[in-house]
Structure 1
Amino acid sequence: MKKILVLLVIAVIFSCSKDEDLTLTKTIDPDGSADVEVQDFMWKAMNFWYFWQSDVNDLADDRFMNTATGRAEYTAFLDAEDEPGAFFENKLKYIEDRFSKSYSDYRVLTNSLAGISKSNGLEFGLVRFQGSNDVFGYVRYIIPNSNAATADILRGDLFTGVDGQTLTLNNYKDLLLGENDTYTLNMADFVNGNVVPNNQEVVLTKEEALTENPIFISKSFEIGGENIGYIMYNQFTNEYDDDLYAAVEALKSAGITNLVMDLRYNPGGSVNTTRLLASMIYGTNTSEVFLRKRYNDKIQNQFTDSQLEVYFADKVNGKTINSLGLTKLYVLTTTGSASASELLINSLEPYLDIIQIGDVTTGKNEFSNTMVDDRDNSYLYTPSRTNKINPDNQWAILPLIGRNENAEGFSDFTSGLQPDILLKEDYSNLGILGNQNEPLLARAIQAITGQTGKRDFTVKHPIDILNDSKMLSPIKGKMIDDTVYDLEF
């Protein structure tokens, strides 16, 4: 058995192919006088990798096959949109695709996926006022060591405007995520069931290269005779795999017999990190299937079944995993729990009793990979090859390239994963994260201990999310297929 790196994996794909159409679509070029270099890269990458390639007529292998007119038709097609982002959205995406995106600078995307961003450290949700186009925000949490961590603002605080402008459906993206590095939040109170401006202001400034450790909280409780571990994990970021395992090891040393994974604000990330976390929770049998990949037909047909299977892991960065060996897992979710968060739940379902508490998840069951203009590497972004990226084209695309099935072949959760215990967050009673009285965690503890008591879990003001800070960022709903770096053939 040997480990095959990305370059060799791609070599396998192309050397195995006997489809002449693949050769044509890989080699056809536009007229050199046209300014369509970015669009050419996008089309070729999408033609080969896109999960719905066969469903988009303009991505068909024979779309520009006519030897007499093909080059001219291809050039005209690429030149139909001046702006590459519009070309990607309007010409290449399948109508049902909610998540594939393009980015004018691949470095912004790759930094974001690594947990690095330009940010003031405020993580928030947005809610639409009923019967109105106006919007209000509520603070979910503050990233430690950020600008917001030094300001007078806390979880549960409300705001209705920015720089004196009321937040609306039309302006909230520009006001909160625009080019303005510094802005002033116009704060509000919750009074008799209403969100009411209070004339208080909080000034926040975005900082370059703010790094968020996704392990926000890790602790244990002894309640009702049960030793309960709790991890609030806010992004599947592979740069923090060692930290994640250290947190799990500490809980194991504390003797926990139950675990609550809080993924309510986790929009996804690394597939390999998801596999590692699942192995830490369940077990390290490397012959047990964690997931099976399903690509588009022309890629799928190049692999054997075993090559498409990803197994549980027994090591994290060379360190042997001492698994918790649990038979039951409690997971907290909201509508912001997406992609890799859903993958963890779905892929563990065949092996564990999963108790999902909270709200329905996003419903992101496809995985992506970062594509750049590195044609000798079949457009796959590889950190060690940044000097091979076309210096005249810094664009990146993050297309959906496949679906991950669990060991039982299930992947159909486009409408989201339904909770076993429905409990929406309440913006009038968010509670303190990590505190055993915080509503979602308290409900998990009740399910573990069986102690019903007199706690009332009625949600008086349920949060129906319009959008949130993470879903507005490049990491929105991303499940990045980085297991290719560690597959065995």
Structure 2
Amino acid sequence: MKKLKLFLFVSISLSILMSCQEDIDDSITNVNELADQNAIKDFIWKGLNIFYVYKSDSPDLADNRFETTPEYVDFLSSIDSPVDFFYSLLAEQDRFSFIVTDFVTLEQNLQGISLSNGMKFGLVRFTNTETVFGYVRYIVPGSPADVAGIERGVIFNRIDGVTFTPTTDFNLLLSQPSYTIGLAEFQGDNLVALDQEISLNKIQLTENPILEHNVLDVDGQKVGYLMYNNFRSNFNSELNSVFANFSAEGITDLVLDLRYNSGGSIETAKDLSSMITGQFSGEVFARQIYNENFEPTELVFDNQISTDEPINSLNLSRVYVLTTTSSASASELVINALNPYINVIQIGTNTAGKFEGSVTLYDSPDFGREDVSLEHTYAIQPLILKIANKEGFTGFFDGLEPDIQQREIFSQLGVLGDPQETLLNVALREISPGFERPAFQEKQSISPGVLIGESQMNAPAFQRMYIDLNAVPSRK
């Protein structure tokens, strides 16, 4: 985790040279270094002191920590770097709060905009071996990876000639604006390198989180399938349109594919859950629990999205959700919040175990985006709440356990949305027990190996669940 935090800091620092600095002062490229460092740390301390959900577990954030102003100033000066200062204040159990040196890059990432080649992949180590490989999960349409002809299921075991091992510095390899992957394939139980390489360049991409949606005929039943890869509020209208189509088609069941969805907007998670149901409008969706400065709040099932469009609801009494260890935060919220109301059949592997929500805090009088300081470009994204379902269930550090265990088979990933794809096929056989099972599943029911990384792991929004500052209740 420390290595990932370091890479996040370094990569976003480098992006300052290419982004918002020109808007502040074309002649200054080291604005953060020239700024008053203690003033930045003062903003950090005050933001955490007010909002941080684990404030009570961080003694240096206590209201009575400093008796005099000089003592507080000495404390601010005790650590030079604002980044190091921020992380020194976090509680031990906090795996997800972070700081950025360029808040414009963070804002873009939360909207699905990033520098990317469009190849979304996982990194796997075979159990009890030194063999490490990457497998392509999906490709962003229209991206450089798409143009290069890369497809889901492609296996690679090296970047720029560096063969993967358990000690490979993936942060270094993946941070480059361009790189070349070396392909490999499974031959029996062995991974064999191929004499084929593909070069990829990163460009600024906007990824639509709705990757795939269709209606399947399953033994005469209409089943909706939705591959949804992030909870991004700027795509809520498109998501609502997908459910309008599902409703018009008269689907009787829904398979919601969240296997690679690392989270996003709490509001969008609520809207998606309201689209799946609809019969619980006004009832408690989830409870948000803050630190001692704020009263807990309740979220309720809604009948409108953020644009005031009526929600297209399916009124389902059950839903099938596909998960992996990459399913995090807002993905887990949908499962947890729906569980008390309808039958949620979870298929796959345990989720990530992320039940806290965060908010972006800026250096401004009210910590909002308006009137932000022009002296620097730091922002912090601290955890400010824990979220529980209406029955109070939260704290699932080990993730949510599936009802039906099924791993992806790396040598036979299949096509997303195809009824023969491993995880989807399991769901369809639950819906219709006589539905055809893929032949290769008879031979290999699980895949060896453990996930050690993925393409999004260094993105600012990775495994984040967040709310808008305006949604935070007034301080006591």
Task: State whether TM-score is above 0.5.
Answer: yes
Q: Distance in 2 between matches of 1:442 and 1:192?
A: 24
Q: Secondary structure at the match of 2:352?
A: coil
Is 1:140 aligned to residue 137 of structure 2? yes
Whether the aligned pair in 2 keeps the contact of 1:115 and 1:211 (CA below 8 Å) is: yes
In structure 2, what is the equivalent of residue 98 of structure 1?
95
Q: Residue type of the partner of 1:45?
A: G
Is 1:397 aligned to residue 399 of structure 2? no
In structure 2, what is the equivalent of residue 26 of structure 1?
none
Q: Distance in 2 between matches of 1:461 and 1:396?
A: 41
Q: Secondary structure at the match of 2:430?
A: helix
Q: Secondary structure at the match of 1:148?
A: helix
In structure 2, what is the equivalent of residue 46 of structure 1?
48
Q: What RMSD, in angstroms, separates the aligned Cα atoms of the two structures? A: 2.0
Q: How does 1:271-282 map to 2 (within 5 A)?
A: 271-282=266-277
Residue 52 of structure 1, CA deviation: 0.6
Residue 83 of structure 1, CA deviation: 2.2
Whether the aligned pair in 2 keeps the contact of 1:350 and 1:407 (CA below 8 Å) is: yes
Residue 132 of structure 1, CA deviation: 5.5
Whether the aligned pair in 2 keeps the contact of 1:103 and 1:396 (CA below 8 Å) is: yes
Whether the aligned pair in 1 keeps the contact of 2:407 and 2:446 (CA below 8 Å) is: no
Q: Secondary structure at the match of 1:404?
A: strand
Q: Distance in 2 between matches of 1:236 and 1:34?
A: 36
Q: 1:39 to 1:217 in 2, by over 3 A?
A: same
In structure 2, what is the equivalent of residue 197 of structure 1?
193
Q: Secondary structure at the match of 1:136?
A: strand
Q: 1:42 to 1:461 in 2, by over 3 A?
A: same
Residue 486 of structure 1, CA deviation: 10
Whether the aligned pair in 1 keeps the contact of 2:181 and 2:199 (CA below 8 Å) is: yes
Q: Secondary structure at the match of 1:466?
A: strand
Is 1:323 aligned to residue 313 of structure 2? yes
Which of 438, 463, 466 does residue 480 from structure 1 map onto?
466
Name the count of aligned residue pairs: 435
In structure 2, what is the equivalent of residue 23 of structure 1?
none
Whether the aligned pair in 2 keeps the contact of 1:426 and 1:463 (CA below 8 Å) is: no
Which of 281, 292, 297 does residue 297 from structure 1 map onto?
292
Q: How does 1:77-116 map to 2 (within 5 A)?
A: 77-89=75-87, 91-116=88-113
Q: Secondary structure at the match of 2:345?
A: strand
Q: 1:284 to 1:40 in 2, by over 3 A?
A: farther
Is 1:128 aligned to residue 125 of structure 2? yes
In structure 2, what is the equivalent of residue 7 of structure 1?
none
Whether the aligned pair in 2 keeps the contact of 1:187 and 1:199 (CA below 8 Å) is: yes
Q: Secondary structure at the match of 2:434?
A: coil
Point out the more displaced range, 188-197 or 139-148. 188-197
Which of 367, 370, 393 does residue 357 from structure 2 map onto?
367
Q: Secondary structure at the match of 1:72?
A: helix
Which of 426, 431, 435 does residue 409 from structure 2 map onto?
426
Q: Distance in 2 between matches of 1:454 and 1:335?
A: 24
Q: 1:326 to 1:34 in 2, by over 3 A?
A: closer
Q: Secondary structure at the match of 1:48?
A: helix
Q: Distance in 1 between matches of 2:258 and 2:159?
A: 29
Whether the aligned pair in 2 keeps the contact of 1:120 and 1:207 (CA below 8 Å) is: yes
Q: How does 1:374-389 map to 2 (within 5 A)?
A: 374=364, 376-377=365-366, 379-380=367-368, 382=369, 385=370, 388-389=371-372
Residue 195 of structure 1, CA deviation: 1.8
Residue 485 of structure 1, CA deviation: 4.4
Residue 371 of structure 1, CA deviation: 1.0
Residue 321 of structure 1, CA deviation: 2.0
Whether the aligned pair in 2 keeps the contact of 1:237 and 1:269 (CA below 8 Å) is: yes
Q: Distance in 2 between matches of 1:95 and 1:486?
A: 24
Q: Distance in 2 between matches of 1:295 and 1:235?
A: 24
Q: Residue type of the partner of 1:74?
A: Y
Q: 1:286 to 1:482 in 2, by over 3 A?
A: farther
In structure 2, what is the equivalent of residue 415 of structure 1?
398
Q: Distance in 2 between matches of 1:79 and 1:134?
A: 46
Q: Residue type of the partner of 1:80?
A: S
Point out the more displaced range, 186-195 or 361-370. 186-195
Whether the aligned pair in 2 keeps the contact of 1:281 and 1:324 (CA below 8 Å) is: yes
Is 1:314 aligned to residue 298 of structure 2? no
Q: Residue type of the partner of 1:434?
A: G
Is 1:175 aligned to residue 161 of structure 2? no
Q: Distance in 2 between matches of 1:419 and 1:291?
A: 20
Which of 105, 117, 131 does residue 114 from structure 2 map onto?
117
Q: Distance in 1 between matches of 2:472 and 2:100?
A: 27
- 1:405-436: CA deviations, max 9, x gaps? 11111113121000000001111111111101
Q: Residue type of the partner of 1:44?
A: K
Is 1:236 aligned to residue 231 of structure 2? yes
Which of 437, 459, 464 does residue 445 from structure 2 map onto?
459
In structure 2, what is the equivalent of residue 438 of structure 1?
421
Whether the aligned pair in 2 keeps the contact of 1:258 and 1:329 (CA below 8 Å) is: yes
Residue 189 of structure 1, CA deviation: 1.3
In structure 2, what is the equivalent of residue 350 of structure 1?
340
TM-score normalized by the length of structure 1: 0.85
Whether the aligned pair in 2 keeps the contact of 1:160 and 1:188 (CA below 8 Å) is: yes
Q: 1:432 to 1:250 in 2, by over 3 A?
A: same
Residue 460 of structure 1, CA deviation: 4.3
Q: Distance in 1 between matches of 2:73 and 2:433?
A: 66
In structure 2, what is the equivalent of residue 218 of structure 1?
213
Q: Residue type of the partner of 2:81?
A: E
Consecutive unaligned residues in structure 1, runs of 5 or more: 1-32
Q: 1:453 to 1:139 in 2, by over 3 A?
A: closer
Q: Residue type of the partner of 1:152?
A: G
Consecutive unaligned residues in structure 2, runs of 5 or more: 1-34
Point out the more displaced range, 339-348 or 408-417. 408-417
